[in-house]
Structure 1
């Protein structure tokens, strides 16, 4: 396949309707921007301060949790047969429960936390920490069985059966353990690729049931809580606080915003091969704290679609009345969206993400997008000032027809006096490594770098940008997972 490397220094002579922003497109026909209320601006980000506060709070919580386990032990219990194994199992169980809470809170979609830290970093922490509760649970189960079998002078398998079938709460905790293992296994990248999004999402819903069963097991039978009312009160308050945060941010707030803004489909416009834009209209969208580059979870209230929500980023800067997403046909759900009728109601969850113009630290930026990841790049472009910001854009696609919203991107870049580089062809022929980045944008080390595309693409380009001299805190990318 022939590779193409196109450097657009001036806007191409494209038809006016194609080059114009979506607000002016005949198919969209929204009200003039000047007639709409100014959008509510997002608050300034305080990422370093928020990260430090989170680290301190998490450390204090972990210390208090482990102190509960240590306080429940005595010299006599440790000297007894199986005492050290049992004590280690109890500590591992407490650590696993606390780690599970932390992992859940990281993806609770709390707006202030999302805004300060960024969805990309929160998801990265979630993925990095996710395996450790499972390791600790395995250690908890193994050590408890070993300790109890040593105390009873019994075999491991026989003692395991005795625990499951005769001890209160153990059968329920075993079910919780199996559910958590299932959620963990399906989160590994190879397994995730083989699962439909709906299947993965359904499996993860059972995580909340597993947490409830684990909590009941601990407070009812845990040595740290039986006969220790203050410890039980603190632990219960911690879990209730996490529950309130998750329900408030993942259920109550999305429900309130969906009812308040009354978002509905206005029209659908083809954008190329297997790509189409969906224009949506709503009430008082100027009060929705959203910016170009962010994404929402969209639930289209139509038969066959209403029960599942999928993440799609905005492909144009939001206005007081309209939102737009651009979708690629990647499966049953995205394919079904092409047949949505005007007037279809939409429930929204979000906005999420820190992939916004205010994340930049300077007035020189390079935006790098691949595939459908070009759509948030296009929306973010519209949020950048038309004067005073030096803009370079790199668009990566495997074939010429796969450059999404190319005319709109060129038009937005031309308004800002920037350049568009289109890299089209197989990765082997058109690499995007450190040398290529420096050739395309010689001063890339002095710029903020925005990346959006498949996870593998973003991880690769982020590493190459670091090799090209870009500071880690000036590389901005977003994850749409979870």
Structure 2
């Protein structure tokens, strides 16, 4: 472990390095890497947030489920459950179909980047919710299909396969519904962890878009054959309105808003420079950046218009505080698209979608910042530390705990060294393989140290800090567990996982 410590406001000559030790073998070194003086942050307008947004979004979600259940009850759903096996199966099939359709629409709405929803929960929580709702709606969809086919079998006395085939050919819109089900099934299979490991993010994201088409193909059969949707005019109006609202949100916030943002600011690449082994830093400028609502710690989806592959979106956090002079991102170049990005020339146009994320300085409840970062997860916390640097002169030094596989692995080490020199940042590097026993987020040579104890050793004045954690999901979750065990309340923990 290496740590650089300095008093805020002191000159480099007057600072005496101090080591935070986990055991007697810990190494100490002052920051030896020196980078150029980054541009002084100029705070841009932060996105608006309201404390009641999460409650409003939650009430809307549960309200829609209550409405569709009421539609089922109003259309003799409960009576049919007691009317015999065939009627009971048909009634349960209708109910699960309503729930599945409602959840599918809410799933699409949740990832439509609606500002109220995005800023209420944050992208990390929305992604987990999106995954949970997706699998839940898919399971309900399977129950819907099975119960209705079994009910048809009991009504007609034919075989199960023949009943399913007859329904597909004779019921209006059913062939489209089956096609939509196959597309949704494909997306669900590709969303399983084993399948995702074999796909690059860009390919998975492109295939994931077929879920939109699958949901759209299910609409006709619901409105043509679903008695819960057609029995009353207000029921049909509800479903048409819900589908229409979701479609409008997707078109406005996933298509229209990004195009308008990119056209207004005309983002373009200024330079591409190495930032560490396997990473580069991309500097981006644009017009009228003082009007851009963004905070340090947020991320955009970037599309670099460099020829073939420009349609691939890259969700990248800002790696420095946003300024009126431009934005900065740091990206790994070892992937399929890395060579294209690393070779970009100045003037390359950029399409931008965002900003997203709630791991921002304005979410703090305490005066100082402590950050735990692994891999490229250092980018958003570095932006936070840049943004808070000047304030740290009066509140006390911030802390960065950076996880590295080896001494040459780290990104943005020059930035950390500069912040240590100029603002007294306490920079701790945890170098080596992850421990396979004991505390898993520490290097193996420190795995025997209890996690809560390690947290307190690394940040003795922990109770004065909000803690920002960013990195791979397993590592980040382990850090958060030990932070809670060390007494840090959830209100002071801000988590963003690098996963999809």
TM-score normalized by the length of structure 2: 0.88
- Of 385-394 and 103-112, the range deviating more from structure 2: 385-394
Q: Does 1:342 align with 2:346?
A: yes
- Partner secondary structure for residue 403 of structure 1: coil
Q: Does 1:372 align with 2:368?
A: no
- Of 91-100 and 225-234, the range deviating more from structure 2: 225-234
CA RMSD of aligned residues (A): 2.1
- Partner secondary structure for residue 420 of structure 1: strand
Deviation at 1:19, TM superposition (A): 4.9
Task: Give distance in 1, aligned partners of 2:426 and 2:83.
Answer: 73
Q: Does 1:323 align with 2:323?
A: no
**C-alpha contact (below 8 Å) 1:39/1:287 kept by paired residues:** no
Residue in structure 2 matching 1:173, options 177, 200, 209: 177
**C-alpha contact (below 8 Å) 2:223/2:230 kept by paired residues:** yes
Q: Does 1:63 align with 2:66?
A: yes
Task: Give distance in 1, aligned partners of 2:308 and 2:458.
Answer: 46
TM-score normalized by the length of structure 1: 0.91
| Structure 1 match to 2:414 | 407
| Structure 1 match to 2:252 | 248
With over 3 angstroms needed to count, the CA separation of the structure-2 counterparts of 1:453 and 1:479, relative to structure 1, is closer
The number of equivalent residue pairs is 463
Residue pairs, 1:64-463, within 5 angstroms: 64-73=67-76, 75=79, 79=83, 82-384=86-388, 385-390=391-396, 391-428=398-435, 429=444, 430-431=446-447, 433-445=451-463, 447-463=465-481
Residue in structure 1 matching 2:53, options 41, 50, 56: 50
Q: Does 1:470 align with 2:466?
A: no
- Partner secondary structure for residue 315 of structure 1: coil
Gaps of 5+ in 1: 24-32
**C-alpha contact (below 8 Å) 2:270/2:346 kept by paired residues:** yes
Deviation at 1:156, TM superposition (A): 1.4
Task: Give distance in 2, aligned partners of 1:468 and 1:201.
Answer: 38
Task: Give distance in 2, aligned partners of 1:463 and 1:363.
Answer: 22
Task: Give distance in 2, aligned partners of 1:460 and 1:380.
Answer: 22
Gaps of 5+ in 2: 7-11, 13-29, 436-443
Deviation at 1:423, TM superposition (A): 0.5
Residue in structure 1 matching 2:3, options 4, 7, 19: 7
Task: Give distance in 2, aligned partners of 1:271 and 1:373.
Answer: 14
- Partner secondary structure for residue 194 of structure 1: coil
With over 3 angstroms needed to count, the CA separation of the structure-2 counterparts of 1:441 and 1:91, relative to structure 1, is same
**C-alpha contact (below 8 Å) 2:466/2:493 kept by paired residues:** yes
Q: 1:87-131, CA deviations, whole angstroms, 9 ceiling, x for partnerless residues? A: 000000000011111112221112233223222222222222221
| Structure 2 match to 1:30 | none
- Partner secondary structure for residue 402 of structure 1: coil
**C-alpha contact (below 8 Å) 1:169/1:217 kept by paired residues:** yes
